[in-house]
């Protein structure tokens, strides 16, 4: 049963604590990466047999397999996928930024140019659940950014095929190539390349502890989006809500995995008890009830605050991945929110709306990192270069000052590079 606290009875650090011990996977992941670097495709196929229980002759998904999955897909599902994709495109198109150029006196020009990352890798989970929504959320911003090659990796099923819903989403989103590889070995393949899997410049997408650790270990060789922790939701709700609705929203994250965290902050003690009772009614009805039960019992919390403003202060302390403001006039409170990955406003904007359909990205900062990081966006798939142009006249005016600055730092060659252009030659 979920635990109920009055504010002050539990610290903000403990609110999203994980009761299960952290699995130490660093050494195992390091060995997997080294094996993939050494043996390439041979290692990937061996790991597929070991972890996925499947023998693969080809790692890449053929175009025929993708077209077959798309043709066989439920038409209603395809329709929802395409609507969601259009919403995601509209939202992310607003994130596209242009370079700039500043012109000064004497012909000086300085500026910034935006360039797409050429090759990006998308990791799409395929273990306890398959997530076609992740394909849309990761691939569409990359496509909008102008990435030439979008390479997707995802674990195969025991029959050697990729989940057809994932393949359908990949076609809708415009993924370039797809490989039947999962786990830390997939991240290694993207980072270093193999005979079949191309080396990419950046890797994005969620995964289990092994995937997260692999992303951490290859960072520097390639760029990554973030190190994502278990999923979290914090709901701020008053007593005007239906407790069944709020309980369902909490369970939408609790069913992800046993380490997920679901937290309610309310200003009404009776409502807290009502939500607790609603959770007990709903958990047994879920197909993933065992996972949800462990998540709620180990990590779930209800906190009773003095008022809604205090509740939002608590949310800011925690900086949750998903924050629901289940209140009337939610825009009245929006400016009070300082730290959250994605904010869901009102009583009819559940977190699932953002996961699948509305348009904003669902790849979000976890574990309090919303204090300093942002959701996945078009910005993650571009890089910025600066440029500087000075005419001889403009540079001569500042050369002595630059040289003096360099000498202050003890860098004589820097200083010389500024003054040598104007020295009289004998």
C-alpha distances out from residue 191 to 127, 173, 379, Å: 21, 23, 20
User: Any catalytic annotation for residue 362?
Assistant: no
| Distances 364 to 212, 226, 258, 264, 319 between C-alpha atoms, Å | 14, 9, 19, 19, 11
Neighbours of 297 (CB within 10 A): 15
For residue 175, give the nearest of 48, 65, 72, 44 by alpha carbon.
65
Q: How far apart are CA 257 and CA 87, in angstroms?
A: 28
Is residue 160 within 8 A of residue 179, CB to CB? The reply is: no
Instruction: Given the residues 213, 255, 321, 324, select the one marked as catalytic.
Output: 321
Active site includes 82? Answer: no
SS3 281: helix
- How far is residue 409's CA from residue 424's CA, in Å, rounded to a whole number? 26
| 350-362: burial string, b at 16+ Cβ within 10 Å, e else | bbbebbbbbbbbb
The whole-angstrom separation of Cα 271 and Cα 236 is 12
Beta bridge partners of 383: 115
Print burial letters for 251-270: b (CB count within 10 Å at least 16), e (below 16): bbbbbbbbbbbbbbbbbbee
Choosing from 92, 256, 322, 362, which is the catalytic residue? 322
For the annotated catalytic residues, the residue numbers are: 321-322
């Amino acid at each position: 049963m979920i635990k109920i606290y009055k504010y002050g009875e539990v610290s903000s650090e403990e609110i999203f604590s994980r009761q299960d011990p952290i699995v130490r996977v660093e050494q195992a992941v390091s060995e997997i990466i080294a094996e993939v670097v050494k043996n390439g495709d041979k290692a990937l196929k061996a790991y597929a047999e070991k972890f996925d229980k499947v023998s693969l002759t080809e790692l890449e998904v053929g175009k025929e397999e993708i077209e077959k999955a798309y043709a066989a897909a439920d038409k209603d599902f395809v329709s929802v996928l395409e609507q969601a994709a259009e919403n995601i495109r509209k939202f992310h198109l607003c994130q596209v930024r242009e370079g700039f150029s500043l012109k000064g006196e004497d012909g000086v020009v300085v500026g910034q140019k935006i360039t797409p990352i050429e090759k990006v890798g998308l990791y799409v989970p395929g273990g306890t659940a398959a997530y076609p929504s992740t394909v849309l959320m990761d691939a569409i911003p990359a496509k909008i950014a102008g990435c030439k090659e979008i390479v997707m990796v995802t674990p195969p099923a025991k029959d050697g095929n990729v989940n057809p819903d994932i393949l359908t989403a990949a076609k809708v989103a415009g993924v370039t190539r797809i490989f039947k590889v999962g786990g830390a070995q997939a991240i290694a393949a993207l980072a270093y390349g193999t005979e079949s899997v191309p080396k990419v410049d950046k890797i994005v997408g969620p995964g289990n502890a092994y995937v997260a650790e692999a992303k951490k270990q290859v960072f520097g060789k390639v760029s990554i989006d973030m190190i994502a922790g278990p999923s979290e939701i914090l709901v701020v709700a008053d007593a005007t809500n239906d407790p069944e609705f709020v309980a369902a929203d909490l369970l939408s994250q609790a069913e992800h995995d046993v380490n997920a965290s679901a937290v309610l902050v309310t200003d009404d003690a009776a409502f807290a008890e009502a939500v607790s009772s609603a959770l007990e009614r709903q958990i047994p009805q879920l197909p993933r009830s065992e996972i949800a039960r462990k998540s709620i019992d180990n990590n779930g919390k209800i906190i009773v605050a003095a008022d809604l403003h205090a509740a939002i202060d608590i949310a800011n302390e925690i900086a949750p991945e998903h924050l629901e403001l289940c209140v009337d006039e939610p825009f009245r409170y929006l400016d009070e929110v300082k730290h959250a990955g994605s904010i869901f406003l009102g009583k009819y904007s559940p977190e699932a709306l953002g996961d699948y359909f509305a348009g904003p990205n669902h790849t979000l900062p976890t574990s309090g990192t919303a204090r300093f990081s942002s959701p996945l966006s078009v910005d993650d798939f571009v890089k910025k270069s600066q440029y500087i142009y000075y005419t001889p006249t403009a540079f001569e005016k500042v050369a002595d000052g630059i040289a003096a600055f360099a000498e202050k730092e003890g860098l004589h060659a820097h200083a010389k590079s500024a003054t040598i252009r104007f020295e009289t030659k004998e």
